[in-house]
Amino acid sequence: MSFQKTITLSNGAPLAQIGLGTWLSKEKEVENAVEIAIRNGYRHIDCALIYQNQHEVGAALKKVIPDVVKREEVFITSKLWNHSHHPEDVEKELDQTLAELGLDYLDLYLVHWPVSFPPGQLFTRHAEKQEMVIDDNGPSLVETWKAMIKLPKTGKVKAIGVSNFSIAHIKGIAEATGVWPAANQIERHPLNPQFELLEFCKEHNVHITSYSPLGNNIIGVKKLVDYPEVKAIADRLGCTNAQVLIAWGAYDGCSVIPKSVQEDRIKSNFQQVKLSKEDYDIITALGKDNHLRFNLPFRYCTASDPKWDVNIFDEEDEKNATHQVKIV
């Protein structure tokens, strides 16, 4: 079983350190995966409207609540999609998410990405380019964050946070409103450790949740689980390669949400192991000269100026290029 470690968020809520991710879980698979996870001890489920499978997560929750667990024993996270950044749309999308999940409240609600799409459609692709269109007249992140701040008072969410936000994004919304996010969910693994962002968030009591802790399968790129250094440690500890990477993610106090729909892997991912400092350093060294972000966001432009090409991450540097994104 897992170490059953919980993280205390800034609002005092306990968050189970190891959770189940549901991104890219196919139709008919995620319902089964969530049910298996809950029945095998998971108490942290990560969702998002854009994953388009929350109704299946909700179906699984109905099977296990309250027969297996009480609602208050399961920490449920979901996220506000980019097309609902206008303040008047924030609570509406939250209501949609709650309806899909069949819940009265979320434990944590995040702004999914620091970029605003035109309202109405999940994606709006530019007619002349492959880029996704940013809302020319969209709200700033501060305006969206102010709408998020109001949500806990409704009783529909316990805590609010962000996802894929850089230091500049977080500072911008916090300094403008005085309210710091409870959490920041980011891609984090040995090839994309984001230590500077991690340290900043620790200083300001912003918890980090790591998604894609095992990396992703990109054709032509070696999988993180296939690195010989990972395998050597796994063999010595008598565990799976994935367990080593999950242990690396949890070493710094982050919560980790590996995704799987296979029963054996769901169970084994929850069988935690502990790395020594030496083993942690060996895994960390994998990213020293081999930085890689597996989940690159779309490239963006505006409808009025299709030549204005926006990327919220600077791929030449680990720091996020935020000067192009409207914060205030």
Would you state the pLDDT for residue 133?
74
30 is in which domain, residue-wise? 6-123+139-295
* pLDDT grade for 327, boundaries at 50, 70 and 90: confident
Would you state the pLDDT for residue 28?
81
159 domain residue, yes or no? yes
Would you state the pLDDT for residue 313?
55
Would you state the pLDDT for residue 126?
64
Residue 324 has pLDDT above 60, yes or no: no
3-state secondary structure of 161: strand
Would you state the pLDDT for residue 297?
65
Residues forming the annotated binding site? 112
Summarised one tens digit per residue, pLDDT across range 125-180 is: 666 666 677 787 889 999 999 999 999 999 999 999 999 999 999 999 999 999 99
Would you state the pLDDT for residue 232?
98
Read off the pLDDT of each residue in 221-244 and give the average, rounded to a whole number: 95
Residue 323 has pLDDT above 60, yes or no: no
Residue 230 has pLDDT above 80, yes or no: yes
Kindly state the tokens that stand for 129.
């380019």
Number of compact structural domains in the chain: 1
Would you state the pLDDT for residue 70?
98
Q: How many CB atoms lie within 10 A of CB 279?
A: 21
Summarised one tens digit per residue, pLDDT across range 240-258 is: 999 999 999 999 999 999 9
25 domain residue, yes or no? yes
174 domain residue, yes or no? yes
Distance from chain centroid for Cα 137: 27
Beta-strand pair 6-8/14-16? antiparallel
3-state secondary structure of 209: strand
- C-alpha 246/C-alpha 67 separation (Å) is 29
Catalytic annotation, pick one of 51, 105, 211, 300: 51
Would you state the pLDDT for residue 319?
39
Residues forming the annotated binding site for substrate? 112
Would you state the pLDDT for residue 315?
39
% the chain with pLDDT above 90: 74
198 domain residue, yes or no? yes
Cα dihedral 33, 209, 326, 323 sign: negative
Read off the pLDDT of each residue in 67-77 and give the average, rounded to a whole number: 98
317 domain residue, yes or no? no
Residue 195 has pLDDT above 50, yes or no: yes
Distance from chain centroid for Cα 298: 16
Decide: 144 and 116 in contact? Cβ < 8 Å: yes
Would you state the pLDDT for residue 129?
60
Would you state the pLDDT for residue 125?
67
Residue 291 has pLDDT above 60, yes or no: yes
* pLDDT grade for 43, boundaries at 50, 70 and 90: very high
Summarised one tens digit per residue, pLDDT across range 299-322 is: 656 666 555 445 555 433 333 333
327 domain residue, yes or no? no
Q: What kind and span of H or E run contains 23? A: none
The alpha carbons of the chain give a radius of gyration, in whole angstroms, of 19
193 domain residue, yes or no? yes
CATH of the domain at 50: 3.20.20.100
Distances (CA, A) of 327 to 32, 34, 81: 39, 35, 17
Distance from chain centroid for Cα 210: 6
314 domain residue, yes or no? no
Would you state the pLDDT for residue 314?
47
Distances (CA, A) of 35 to 56, 57, 58, 59, 279: 10, 8, 10, 9, 33
Examine the residue annotation and report whether 300 is marked as an active-site residue of this protein.
no
